[in-house]
Amino acid sequence: MSAYDLPSKDGHFGPYGGIFVAETLISALEDLRKQYEYYSNDPDFQAEFAYELKHYVGRPSPIYHAKRWSEHLGGAQILLKREDLNHTGAHKINNTIGQALLARRMGKKRVIAETGAGQHGVASATVAARYGMECVVYMGSEDVRRQATNVYRMKLLGATVVPVESGSRTLKDALNEAMRDWVTNVENTFYIIGTVAGPHPYPMMVRDFQAIIGNEAKVQMQEDFSRQPDALIACVGGGSNAIGLFYPYIDDVNVRLIGVEAAGKGIDTNQHAATLSTGRPGVLHGNRTYLIQDENGQIIETHSISAGLDYPGVGPEHAWLKDCGRAEYVAITDDEALEAFHTLCRYEGIMPALESSHALAYAAKYAPTLPKDKLLLVNLSGRGDKDMATVAQMSGLTL
Amino acid sequence: MSLDSIKNLLNFFSGQDDAKKMNRIAKTFAALKKQNRKALIPFITAGDPNPGITVQLMHRLVQSGADILELGVPFSDPMADGPTIQRSSERALKHHVSLNDVFGMVAEFRKIDTNTPVVLMGYANPVEAMGYAAFAIKAKECGVDGVLIVDYPPEESGEWVQCLDQQEIDAIFLLSPTTPQQRIEQVAKMAKGYIYYVSLKGVTGASHLDLQEVSAMLAQLRNYISLPIGVGFGIRDGATAKAVAGLADAVVVGSRIIEEIEKSSDAELLDNVGNLLNSLRKAIDDNENNTQPTV
């Protein structure tokens, strides 16, 4: 088997990915592709990126052996890649720093971003403050209502938060609106996309910035455990934390790659966000990928307890990894994720994000079926402080 | 490029009316050229404000001076459209208007009007869901003449254009102020029917049309493009329509018409939209009495 080298030059992962955008954006994307190609091979750029990740984000994030929880489950050992310990509390900042450094070199003084739960918005507002750039964050008005704390956080960081009133008023509509802003202000504006979706080169570029997760893990596993894990487990909404962990392992065929989607109230209901498990290929937000859609190709509203997984598409590279069989994709319900959230709090003193709780919940199902010497590496992609109100509400409490 | 379309082009420029060989779009532009007139192309969204009125509205637009009709296929996520056309899509989707419904409307329109070209405009995913070949066959059957899918740029359109070619449907493409020169040549090779020049950066319905920029860009486009060029985005009234008609072969008006639909009751809708189109028609024709043809 030859080494994995996707996407192709024109941005395709097999039949997925590509550049499905209106003519107005084509030259901006071409410019971005060229600039990224140049700077991704520029030692000065890479050195600055590494410096920022170390001194501003606090990397490397450790791998933590969740011994008490593993013992409780009675099977494989569960290891956690602690992205929750990053500055701003999630993996999102790895990517926003990379894109902000690129924006700065391209002379763009204004950055825009879309956000669902607010994590990517916060990470974008943070780097905009750090580098002295204007920042506008688009957020569905439904999400603005649900995530009031993060909205305030972005404002404290100096960003303008624009509530989006169109469509289902959630993440996908925020993405539409950010695209519209970009089309209008393309000359002075850099669009920081938060996940491995969108038109080429975004899925590749965001993956490359997030690959620090898997690259660190490879070194840390060798140092701490003298071997690589048997499986990697990560939640998948758009899929940036998962691809960041998986990508450096794609050619290591002995390591299973397991992506965990949001089954919401169950994948046999119409209230879930399990795109790869239930969707069909189509074109949305600039790329061809699996989508949750009706028989006429209209995009359907999704549901998940975690806003970060509440998206009707998925990164095109995940679509390809599913089709070619290299990665497996499973789904976890709201209830299962919530149970994993509570369990990790009680057994390890770690409060996970509800997104990451989906990956944990699958690990909790999978580990007991394996012998005790197997190693499962779970990407703990974010911390759960932001979710306390949601969890309290689910338990019938108001804070 | 097929032999037929080359012939169409030759006919267009020689002004010959070889009616049998030309499709409806080429015929329309050839006839207009003879009369030294410019095309008026209104855009409406199929099923807005309700599916029952669309075919009547199409006929009324033709009676009021439309030369070609652009019919929008509603989509849940119209990324390249401003708020006005987004709302029109949402209204149509409340009635669950599907691609098949849109084909049905065109078929019904064709029972009475067999001359006016109809161009479908929309986004990729409803086409993806139907499949390229099935789409092209159904579109041909009901009498569609051209298709513009906003998020199928030439780079991703190889197979798509082949399927349309097989059914002799024109694949229409956009060009924009940000399109670099080598791409203009690339688009020129694939495009049929007419070129849709997006006259400003931004989404549909914005209002900052820069006529000098349009004029300069059109002059550049004509070095590479032999097809008629329509200009859309930012045409709000008779004055802008008239100005654009002085530069381009066709004037495309979308958001302004949708606004008229929005503010009209069902009873007055046809008259209001008809009057608006009449006034645009007048402004455009008035222009042509005073200026030289541009081709």
pLDDT tier at B295 (50, 70, 90 boundaries)? very low
Section A229-255 average pLDDT: 98
Cβ(B291)–Cβ(B215) below 8 Å: no
Global confidence as pTM: 0.94
Cβ(B253)–Cβ(B40) below 8 Å: yes
In the 8-state DSSP scheme, what is residue B73? Answer: P
Question: How many angstroms separate the CA atoms of A159 and A164, rounded?
Answer: 15
From residue B272, alpha-carbon distances to A213, B62, B260, B262, B282 in Å are 60, 14, 7, 11, 15
CB contact under 8 A, B156 and A299: no
Distance to chain A for B177, nearest Cα, Å:
7
Contacting residues of B for A18, CB less than 8 Å apart: 155-156
Contacting residues of A for B155, CB less than 8 Å apart: 10, 18-19, 26
Query: Best interface-test mutation with B: which of A13, A21, A23, A275 has the largest number of B CBs within 10 A?
Result: A23
Cβ(B104)–Cβ(B139) below 8 Å: no
**Which of B79, B129, B187 is the closest to A293 by Cβ?**
B129
Nearest to A302 by CA among A243, A391, A238: A238
Catalytic residue flag (residue A67): no
According to the model, what pLDDT value does residue B252 have?
97
Query: Best interface-test mutation with B: which of A114, A162, A183 has the largest number of B CBs within 10 A?
Result: A183
**Which of A184, A280, A298 is the closest to B201 by Cβ?**
A184
With a CB cutoff of 8 Å and minimum separation 6, the contacts of A286 are A18, A19, A20, A21, A25, A179, A197, A198, A199, A200, A202, B151
Section A161-184 average pLDDT: 91
pLDDT at B57 over 80: yes
Q: What would the pLDDT profile of A261-307 be if each residue is shown by its tens digit? A: 999 999 999 999 999 999 999 999 999 999 999 999 999 999 999 98
Question: Considering chain A, what is the average pLDDT of its residues?
Answer: 96
Section A205-218 average pLDDT: 98
pLDDT at A163 over 50: yes
According to the model, what pLDDT value does residue A146 have?
80
CB contact under 8 A, B78 and A176: yes
Catalytic residue chosen out of the listed positions A81, A92, A172, A322? A92
Cβ(A249)–Cβ(A218) below 8 Å: yes
Is A285 touching B (CB cutoff 8 A)? yes
pLDDT tier at B293 (50, 70, 90 boundaries)? very low
**Which of B78, B128, B156 is the closest to A282 by Cβ?**
B128
Question: How many angstroms separate the CA atoms of B257 and B61, rounded?
Answer: 10
Cis peptide, bond prior to residue A371, ω within 30 of zero = no
C-alpha radius of gyration, chain B, whole number? 17
CB contact under 8 A, A27 and B150: no
Q: What would the pLDDT profile of A108-134 be if each residue is shown by its tens digit? A: 999 999 998 899 999 999 999 999 999
Catalytic residue flag (residue B70): yes
Contacting residues of A for B130, CB less than 8 Å apart: 297
Task: Say how far residue A61 (Cα) sits from the centre of its chain.
Answer: 16
Residue of A nearest to B183 (CA): A27
CB contact under 8 A, B156 and A167: no
pLDDT at B242 over 50: yes
Distance to chain B for A266, nearest Cα, Å:
24
Cβ(A372)–Cβ(A387) below 8 Å: no
Residue of B nearest to A18 (CA): B156
Residue A356: exposed, middle, or buried by beta-carbon count in 10 A (0-12, 13-18, 19+)? Answer: buried
In this structure, the number of other CB atoms found within 10 A of the CB of residue A15 comes to 13
According to the model, what pLDDT value does residue A145 have?
85
Section B236-253 average pLDDT: 94
pLDDT at B292 over 90: no
Cβ(A140)–Cβ(A150) below 8 Å: no
Residue with tokens 């056309």: B85
Alpha helices in chain A (DSSP H): 23-40, 43-52, 67-73, 92-105, 119-131, 141-146, 148-156, 171-184, 202-210, 212-225, 240-246, 275-278, 316-323, 334-348, 354-366, 388-394
Question: In degrees rounded to 5, what are phi and psi of residue A180?
Answer: -65, -40
Task: Say how far residue B191 (Cα) sits from the centre of its chain.
Answer: 13
Interface of A with B in 153-182 (CB under 8 A): 166-167, 172-173, 176, 179-180
Contacting residues of A for B51, CB less than 8 Å apart: none
Residue of B nearest to A22 (CA): B151
Residue with tokens 């996970």: A352
Scored b (16 or more CB within 10 A) or e, B121-156 reads bbbbbbbbbbebeebbebbeebbbbbbbbbbbbbbb
**Which of B125, B155, B206 is the closest to A293 by Cβ?**
B125
According to the model, what pLDDT value does residue A395 have?
87
Chains A, B: CB contacts under 8 A, how many?
124
Cβ(A210)–Cβ(A350) below 8 Å: no
Question: How many angstroms separate the CA atoms of A356 and A234, rounded?
Answer: 7
Distance to chain A for B64, nearest Cα, Å:
30
Does the ipTM exceed 0.85? yes
Residue of B nearest to A298 (CA): B76
Query: Best interface-test mutation with A: which of B45, B76, B98 has the largest number of A CBs within 10 A?
Result: B76
CB contact under 8 A, A298 and B127: no
According to the model, what pLDDT value does residue B288 have?
53
Q: What would the pLDDT profile of B119-129 be if each residue is shown by its tens digit? A: 999 999 999 99
Catalytic residue flag (residue B155): no
Question: How many angstroms separate the CA atoms of B75 and B64, rounded?
Answer: 28
Amino acid symbol at B247: L
* DSSP string over B136-179: HHHHHHHT--EEEETT--GGG-HHHHHHHHHTT-EE-EEE-TT-
Cβ(A113)–Cβ(A191) below 8 Å: yes
Tokens of A209: 């910035």
Q: How many CA atoms lie less than 13 Å away from A337 in the CB half-sphere?
A: 34
In the 8-state DSSP scheme, what is residue B22? Answer: S
% chain A with pLDDT above 70: 100
pLDDT at B205 over 80: no
pLDDT tier at A166 (50, 70, 90 boundaries)? confident
Q: Which residue has the higher pLDDT, A73 or A142?
A: A73
In the 8-state DSSP scheme, what is residue A247? Answer: G
